[in-house]
Amino acid sequence: MIFYDLSKRRQAEQAVMKGQARQALILRGLPIVLYSAKGSGDYGALWVSENIERVTGFPAQRFLDDSTLWASRLHPHDQDKTLRKFNALSETDALATEYRWQRQDGEYRWFRDQAMLVRQPDGGPQELIGLWADVTGERQANELIRRQAEIINQIQESVITVDLNGYVTSWNHGAEQLLGYAATEALGKHISFVYPEEDREFLEQRVLAPVIAKGTHQVEIRRRTKSGTLRFAQLSLTLLRDDSGDPISIVGYSMDITDRKRGEEALLASRNQLAALAVRLESVREEERGRIALEVHDVLGQALTGLKLDISWVYKQLVESQGQIEPSAVLLRLATSLKLVDATIHSVREIATTLRPSVLDQLGLEAAIEWQAQDFHHRTGIACTTSISPDHIHVDTEQSTVLFRILQEVLTNVVRHAHATEVDIRLEETREHVMLHVKDNGKGITAAEQSGIEAFGLLGMRLRAQQQGGTFDIHGTSGEGTTVTVKIPLSPTHDD
């Protein structure tokens, strides 16, 4: 009797079975079908991996039982082209192709087929071995990307994508048109190549860093075109992330605003010119007022005073003639003339004072404000108090004129619009500014009145303050009154 030890054989068989089980498990989990098929004819299946049912809906045995199943379910538009490629395997020995194939549920899906021809010893075809995978999702994604790229490319504004280090990864047609660089020239370069040299730090700190930190960012930028022209743009940035949420790139959409910026700059220049012109006109007007006031006061005033003296002398002589002539009619006419001369002299003084108060030039801003308050009360009956601190305010002639003219305009508005019974005027000096506060107890100015078509007086006062580098603020409270605050920086040459 002969005994055989079969334990090693059984162990080997079990190992093979375990290996086949592991292989089947792996194949069932893969999205790729492995197959072996006839090397010619209808290319019917000889063996397919079990996961083919999950991919196609047909069990593996169905492919083995029906050798025409694969060819019969090719899409009509793809059938001839696909079979020609398989027929050419006798010459090429390998192929890689994509075609549409109908699943059991009737849906056509795209498959990628990669096959290699195994030959017999005599060189004839023996079988095909290959990999078969559903790539519909991949093709749909690629088509979506292609369509999105087409849309982006048709946008007239520039759309540029850079990696997290700032190197260009996409460059649309709009960027080509606006910046002058073809995509082939821009791809792979750092985006700083279109920024002026002096803006490189701005690019890193104010453009790239904020979007990486926040995820989105908007900023106004300057870029230099290939021809050297500097153009402005409003840039909107978004941080792109992958499926796991990790940042991968930055996409920027920019709208060219060069024409708008140039228009704004031209408008600003025009405003500055108008402001300068207004300053000059105001200066000329003040000079002309001063000259006319001086001439009215000195020339016309002196002439009227002389005329009054002459008339007074004639009047006196007639009175002293003691009846040598009948003086009553003449005296009456002279008396009337004297009253007219007195009224004219008074009017001349008022006109001269209105044009340029002599107290402003002779005694300074403080005395001029005190005089103006008293005159205002005398003319209108509105109580007017003043407070000046310190006693001497360190302002130059031009600043004094501006503050005094603003005060006159404010008081004029009080009379016309405020319906006030009291006005408080305060003039204060700090280390850096002189401030004029005027408050009344009237009805209070409204927002509509501040911006209405009749608010030219306010605009003029604000412009006067701005011409001195200062500010003009007006605030009204209904039923409580209006407060005007003017702040002007002190002249740097004044002595503290």
- Residue 371 one-letter amino acid: W
Q: Look at residue 286 and tell me whether its pLDDT is greater than 80.
A: no
Average pLDDT over residues 7-30: 53
pTM: 0.42
Give residue 140's pLDDT band: very low, low, confident or very high (50, 70, 90).
Answer: confident
pLDDT at 289: 62
Looking at residue 324, what is its pLDDT? 55
**Given a cut of 80, is residue 348 above it in pLDDT?**
no
Mean pLDDT value across the chain: 82
Q: Is pLDDT larger for residue 447 or for residue 176?
A: 176
Query: Rounded to an integer, what distance in angstroms lies between the CA atom of residue 441 and that of residue 383?
Result: 11
CA pair distance 282, 274, nearest whole angstrom? 12
Tokens 């200066």 locate to: 283
Q: Look at residue 27 and tell me whether its pLDDT is greater than 70.
A: no
**For range 108-132, the mean pLDDT:** 92
- Identify residue 225 by its one-letter amino acid code: T
C-beta atoms surrounding 52 within 10 Å: 21
- Predicted pLDDT at 90: 87
**pLDDT computed for residue 283 by the predictor:** 63
Q: What is the pLDDT of residue 242?
A: 85
Reported as a pLDDT band with limits 50, 70 and 90, residue 25 is: very low
- Residue 14: pLDDT band (50, 70, 90) is low
Asked if 171 and 183 touch (Cβ cutoff 8 Å), the reply is yes
| 62-88 average pLDDT score | 94
Q: Would you say residue 492 has pLDDT above 90?
A: no
Mean pLDDT confidence for 159-172: 91
DSSP classification of residue 49: -
Tell me the HSE value of 9 on the side-chain side, using a 13 A CA sphere. 3
Q: If you average pLDDT over residues 322-333, what whole number do you get?
A: 61
pLDDT of residue 208: 93
Q: What percent of the chain is modeled with pLDDT above 70?
A: 76
Average pLDDT over residues 303-307: 67
In this prediction, residue 297 has a pLDDT band, given cuts at 50, 70 and 90, of low
Residues 6 or more apart in contact with residue 181 via CB below 8 angstroms: 171, 175, 194, 226
The pLDDT, as a whole number, for residue 272 is 72
At 459 the pLDDT is: 78
| Better-predicted residue by pLDDT, 18 or 49 | 49
485 beta partners: 437, 473
Return the minimum-mean-pLDDT range out of 8-17, 191-200, 405-414, 471-480. Answer: 8-17
- 419-454 per-position pLDDT tens digit: 899 999 999 998 889 999 999 999 998 888 877 655
For residue 124, what pLDDT is reported?
86
Question: Is residue 457 scored above 50 in pLDDT?
Answer: yes
Q: Is pLDDT of 2 > 60?
A: no
Backbone angles phi, psi at 108, to 5 degrees: -85, 130
Does position 153 have pLDDT exceeding 90, yes or no? no
Show Cβ contacts of residue 490 under 8 Å, excluding neighbours closer than 6 positions. Answer: 394, 395, 429, 432, 433, 434
pLDDT of 294: 60
Give every CB contact of residue 203 below 8 A, 6+ residues apart in sequence. 166, 191, 192, 195, 221
Other C-beta atoms closer than 10 Å to the C-beta of 454 total 8
Q: What is the mean pLDDT of residues 50-75?
A: 93
User: What pLDDT score does 454 carry?
Assistant: 55
**What pLDDT band is residue 462 in, cutting at 50, 70 and 90?**
confident
Q: What percent of the chain has pLDDT over 90?
A: 42
pLDDT of 496 over the 60 cut: no
Give the C-alpha separation, 251 to 254, whole Å. 10
- The pLDDT value recorded for residue 447 is 82
Asked if 73 and 52 count as a contact pair (C-beta separation under 8 A), the reply is no
Tokens of 460: 């003029």
pLDDT, average across residues 286-307: 63
Segment 231-251 mean pLDDT = 90
Q: What pLDDT does 382 receive?
A: 92
According to the model, what pLDDT value does residue 152 have?
Answer: 67
Which of 155 and 209 is assigned the larger pLDDT?
A: 209
With a cut of 80, say whether residue 110 has pLDDT above it: yes
pLDDT tens by residue, 28-59: 545 789 999 998 888 999 999 989 999 999 99
Least confident of 101-115, 139-153, 181-195, 345-359: 345-359
pLDDT band at 397; cut points 50, 70, 90: confident
Token reading at 381: 């009956």
pLDDT number for residue 212? 92
Rg (CA), the chain: 49
Cβ count within 10 A of residue 165: 10
Residue spans of beta strands (DSSP E) within 103-175: 108-119, 125-134, 158-163, 168-171
Residue type, 488: I
| 495 CB-near residues (< 8 Å, 6+ apart) | 394
Q: How many residues does the chain have?
A: 496
Structure tokens at 14: 């079990």
